[in-house]
Structure 1
Amino acid sequence: MSPFKPLVFSGVQPTGNLHLGNYLGAIKKFVALQEQSDCIYCVVDLHSLTAQLVHQDLGDQTRSITAAFLASGIDPKKHIVFNQSRVMQHAELAWIFNCVARIGWMYRMTQFKDKAGKDRENASLGLLAYPSLMAADILLYRATHVPVGEDQKQHLELTRDIAQKFNNDFSEKIAALGVGVEMQVGEETVNGYFPITEPVIGGPAARIMSLRDGSKKMSKSDPSDLSRINLTDDADTISKKIRKAKTDPEALPSEVDGLESRPEAENLVGIYAGL
């Protein structure tokens, strides 16, 4: 059991409209977790700068994401909802973590490889150091649990590595200041300031795929609007998108195992299960 008080932290980037994948994969889980723990939910606007530095609609999109949080059932009277850039300590702690983390750790991040592509030398330093800022977001509040999708699991593992290295490197100083707690690391007891944050992963429809291609994750950046169900879509539009969703001619099996090698059908069943 963690010696730290249970606290959930998670965030969503304000980059375009939220869709069903965001809701079933993240926001619905946020709403459920608020009944079990203290929660902090953040609109991570600084992270969005790694994709687009000049972002004229950032303010509107930040408010839109916040409205979606509240409309989905997150209670701001009981839990914290805020946007990242209003708390400068996120960036300050990220710089400290840039000095704790190793460059090799960052280069191993799958998401950096995917987004940088073959032109890695021209990728921004912000994209490479993205996981350090994510670690700062989480550890600034000493969060013990983070709901993450499979695509963010590797970043959370790096957050754990950063926390563990910081605790090990500064154990004596943390103890001298009286600001940490005793933690077991293998057979060694250290004075840790940061928790080793645990992921909250899984459940029905944890990963929603495109309605047009079952091998790709549902995304707001997909050029085809038919590939996703936006949270702002009306009933007629949603019905149209479901009817036009790619599938196959085979009947649905009686067991989930029968959906193997049928990604589009499996995706629609997953959406139904999640709802």
Structure 2
Amino acid sequence: MAKPRTLSGIQPSGELHLGNYLGAIKNWVAEQERYENFFCIVDQHAITVPQDPELLRERTRSLFALYLACGLSLEHCVLFVQSHVPAHTELAWLFTTITPMNWAERMIQYKEKKEKQGEETSVGLFSYPILQAADILLYQPKYVPVGEDQRQHIELCRDIARRFNDRFGEVFVIPEALIRPQGARIMSLTDGTRKMSKSDPSDFSRIHLLDDPDTIRKKIQKCKTDSIRGIAFDDPARPEAHNLLTIYMLTSGKSKEEVAAECAEMGWGQFKPLLADSIIATLEPIQKRYRELSSDPDYLHGLMRENAAKARAVAEQTLQKARDAMGFLPP
């Protein structure tokens, strides 16, 4: 039987951190053989806010290599760059012409980002959920793995697909949001009540996947803790203790019970070096593979071309069906 198809989009903005890996990427790698996966590096979404062109190019290359280094296999997924497949922007325009204004205006994330950007808010920031719908529907996936915060965007995508199908005939599969069971929620190293984020102004709030061992040890040494001896999970008054134990559990491969017993009588001075060593050991093979891939740009770009060709073969077939349905003459 054919495997169900999935589509995930990843923005090349900021550096991937330990929370991204333990909360999402590690699970994608573990489950990749169950699905026919399309992973899209959405560089055209990134430019809805100002970007330095050379930095955008570098982050796109880096993200492509880093996802492979984390364990995504090109035997089980197509990993490609959005701008390498022109069908995304063409289908987005077709969808823009059938999407009512009030559907786009109700998007919560647009309202939140508009408050931050003020008069600098672009039309692209307003309409990017329609581009996101095109990203998804081009590949006719059954599932779209997302966090709960993206559910509204998936519902818009489903509404657009239904509206198109109702007007022009059945062209698009109506995808389903795949909200996986809550994975590891890794919190900031400077505030155990806030999620680890690449947008946090403090670099000490997170560990990047490419941080060197000395940097990791320094960040762990400086991370926020408390004055209580003995480290325990699940104490609402000790969010940092719970977070750091969770990171140790996931990077060491030990069970929650094993970690709880091991650390119950420890002080922070004993635990922090143990945690740093565990993180370093987890990231070392990822960093080694990343360096290998990055050292051969021609090989890396060859992989990008091959995967873009695979993505285009699927996307252009869907786009042509949409063109035909809407009444455009064939080229």
> TM-score under structure 1 normalisation?
0.80
- Does residue 216 (structure 1) correspond to residue 182 (structure 2)? The answer is no
Provide Cα deviations, 1:215-257, integer angstroms capped at 9, x if missing partner.
Answer: 4332223221101110001233223322322234455546x4x
* Aligned position for 1:264: 240
Matches within 5 A, 1:77-96: 77-96=75-94
Cα pair 2:146 2:177 within 8 Å, conserved: no
How far 1:212 moved relative to its partner?
1.2
Q: Which amino acid aligns with 2:110?
A: F
- The alpha-carbon distance between structure 1 residues 118 and 233, as it changes in their structure 2 partners (threshold 3 A), is closer
Correspondences of 1:117-156 after superposition (within 5 Å): 117=115, 120=118, 122-156=120-154
Report the Cα distance in structure 1 between the residues aligned to 2:129 and 2:17, rounded to whole angstroms. Answer: 24
1:167 maps to 165
Q: Quick one: distance in 1 between partners of 2:97 and 2:195? A: 33
In the superposition, relative to structure 1, how do residues 74 and 263 fare at CA in structure 2: closer, same or farther (>3 Å)? same
Match of 1:203 in 2: 182
1:140-181 CA deviation, whole Å, 9 max, x = no partner?
1011122222332322232222223333333xx33xxxxx5x
Cα drift, residue 42 of structure 1: 1.3
Structure 1 unaligned residues grouped into runs of 5+ = 175-179, 181-192
2 CA distance for matches of 1:145 and 1:126? 25
CA 145–53 in structure 1, closer or farther in 2 if over 3 Å, else same:
same
- Aligned equivalents of 1:157, 1:271: Cα separation in 2: 33
Candidates 34, 37, 40, aligned match of 1:36:
34
Distance, in Å, in 2 between the alignment partners of 1:167 and 1:222 is 42
Aligned counterparts of 2:93 and 2:227: Cα–Cα separation in 1: 53
Cα pair 1:153 1:199 within 8 Å, conserved: no
Q: Contact 2:11 / 2:46 at 8 angstroms: preserved in 1?
A: yes
Deviation per CA, 1:78-133, whole angstroms, max 9, x where unpaired?
A: 32111000001111111222233332232322221221116655411111112111
CA RMSD in angstroms comes to 2.5
- Hey, what does 1:246 align to over in structure 2? 224
The corresponding residue for 2:310 is none
| Separation in 1, partners of 2:227, 2:98 | 53
1:61-100 equivalent positions in 2, closer than 5 A? 61-100=59-98
Whole-angstrom CA distance in 2 between matches of 1:169 and 1:215: 47
- Work out the CA distance in 2 between the residues paired with 1:261 and 1:165: 49
Are positions 1:103 and 2:82 aligned together?
Answer: no
Unpaired runs of 5+ in structure 2?
252-331
Task: After TM superposition, give the deviation of residue 273 of structure 1 in Å.
Answer: 4.6
Given that 2:16 and 2:209 are in contact with CA atoms closer than 8 Å, whether structure 1 keeps it comes out as yes
Over the matched positions of the two proteins, sequence identity in percent amounts to 50
More strand by share: 1
What is residue 177 of structure 1 aligned with on the other side?
none
CA contact (8 A) 2:5 2:142 kept: yes
Q: Is the 8 A contact 1:18 1:231 kept in 2?
A: yes
Residues 5 and 129 (structure 1), Cα distance of their counterparts in 2 relative to 1, 3 Å cut? farther
Counterpart of 1:57 in structure 2 is 55
Bigger share in helix: 2
The corresponding residue for 2:264 is none
TM-score relative to the length of structure 2: 0.67
Structure 2 letter corresponding to 1:156: I
Deviation at 1:22, TM superposition (A): 1.7
CA–CA distance in 2 between the matches of 1:52 and 1:10?
A: 23
Going from structure 1 to structure 2, the CA distance change for 1:81 and 1:230 (only over 3 Å counts) comes to same
Task: Choose from 14, 18, 21 the match for 1:20.
Answer: 18
Structure 2 Cα separation of the partners of residues 82 and 8 of structure 1: 14
Q: Is 1:229–2:207 an aligned residue pair?
A: yes
| Aligned residue pair count | 249
One-letter amino acid matched to 2:175: I
CA distance in 1, matches of 2:16, 2:113: 20
Find the aligned partners of 1:208 and 1:248 in 2 and give their Cα distance.
18
